[in-house]
Amino acid sequence: MDCFDKSQPLKRTPVFKKRGLNDGIRFPQGFKIDNRRIFLPKIGWVGFYKSCEIPGKIKNITITNRGGQWFASIQVEQMIEIGNHSSDSEIGIDVGVKCFAAFSDGTLVEGVNSFRKHEERLAREQRKMARKKRGSNNWKKQKRKISGMHHNIANVRQDFLHKLSTEISKNHAKVYVEGLQIRNMSASAKGTIEEPGRNVKAKSGLNKSILDQGWHEFRRQLDYKLFWRGGMLVEVNPRHTSQRCSCCGYTAKENRTSQALFRCQVCGYEENADINAAKNVLTVGRTGMICQANHISGRQQKPAGTREEVLPVAS
Ligand SMILES: [Zn+2]
């Protein structure tokens, strides 16, 4: 097509919808719902499994096919009264090197192992598919199987993240996490001088996609769940959080004796490296070194300090 100049970024060539990618159809009107069936225009009554009560006013219904199964997403409009959070607890969370996440209260959240098991199975089935003749019946059968496995992995991940984010948003009013935009700028597999090898595990190996997607989705869930309960998710400047001693504030890369262990060269404090970082995230959040440029979902937060300050922990 000539009329679309590819050299100009704003006038992008339109992309056709592709069969099999994000297939779905939305019905903005003309639908009806009772307890066991949905009426869709031009289709008629279709039985469905009502997995939960439908609160609020129904705005539309989207039908999708995932892994050979049909799903109805029902969008509702609902007023939520936001009061004060029942607790005044604060917590810092850091992305784990060896685990999914580390909390400043000393909790390590695993979760990677069960994902790994799924990923290994998936890789095995994908190798099987590669050996089959493309387009053959056996190939199609294997493809359906793999698509089902992807769906299953996504469900396992969603379930894990929802349980975790619900629990945290119930127990803590303020949750501090690293500002991702800043972290991504300096992120590489080897790391920089400032943050040596932080992302080695996350950037390589089987767990990369699962960890990355999981962490983004986890923050998204935490953000809205905290907001609903009157709490708040706050992004902090992640600078030095992995090298600073959460006990005395001494900051040096020598403090990281290994990927997993933090040992302060001054006071001798020893801690799991991820938990030490989570404790720093909490301290940084409390002392107000909040990334001003990073308001999550556009909601108002009140930064109490500037970003570039490095505040040592008083001891
Ligand atoms: Zn120390």
Distance 308 CA to ligand 1 centre (A): 22
Tell me if 156 sits within 8 A of 118, measured CB to CB.
yes
Helices 208-228 and 137-171: crossing angle in degrees, nearest 10, is 40
CA 16 to ligand 1 centroid distance, Å: 58
pLDDT digit string (tens) for 263-279? 999 999 999 999 999 99
CA gap 281, 287 in Å, rounded: 10
For the chain, the farthest-separated pair of C-alpha atoms sits apart, in whole angstroms, at 73
Looking at 53-111, list the stretches that DSSP marks H as alpha helix, in order from N- to C-terminal side. Answer: none
Which one of 178, 195, 223, 271 is the catalytic residue?
A: 178
Dist. CA 262 → ligand 1 center (Å): 10
pLDDT at position 97, please?
61
Tell me the three state secondary structure of residue 37: strand
Among candidate residues 94, 119, 223, 235, the one labeled active-site is 94
The domain locations on the chain are 24-77, 90-108+159-297
The pLDDT, as a whole number, for residue 304 is 36
Residue 124: predicted pLDDT: 94
Q: Is 274 marked active-site?
A: yes
pLDDT at 289: 52
CA 210, 201, 181, 224 torsion-angle sign: positive
Cα–ligand 1 centroid distance for 196 (angstroms): 19
Strands (E), the chain: 24-27, 32-33, 37-40, 44-47, 57-66, 69-77, 90-95, 101-103, 108-109, 174-178, 232-236, 261-263, 270-272
- 109 CA → ligand 1 middle, Å: 25
Instruction: Report the separation in Å between the CA atom of 259 and the middle of ligand 1, taken as the mean of its atom positions.
Output: 18
- Measured from the Cβ of residue 282, the count of other Cβ atoms closer than 10 Å reads 24
Residue spans of the chain under pLDDT 50: 1-2, 182-207, 209, 291-315
Q: 289 C-alpha vs ligand 1 centroid, how far in Å?
A: 20
**195, 223, 235, 274: the active-site residue:** 274
178 is catalytic: yes
Q: What are phi and psi of 218, to 5 degrees?
A: -60, -45
CA of 257 to the centre of ligand 1 (A): 13
Nearest 5°: the CA angle 30, 32, 34 is 175
- Does the CA dihedral 203-112-225-171 come out positive or negative? negative
Q: What is the pLDDT of residue 178?
A: 86
Q: What is the pLDDT of residue 106?
A: 92
**How far, in Å, from the CA of 273 to the mean position of ligand 1?**
13
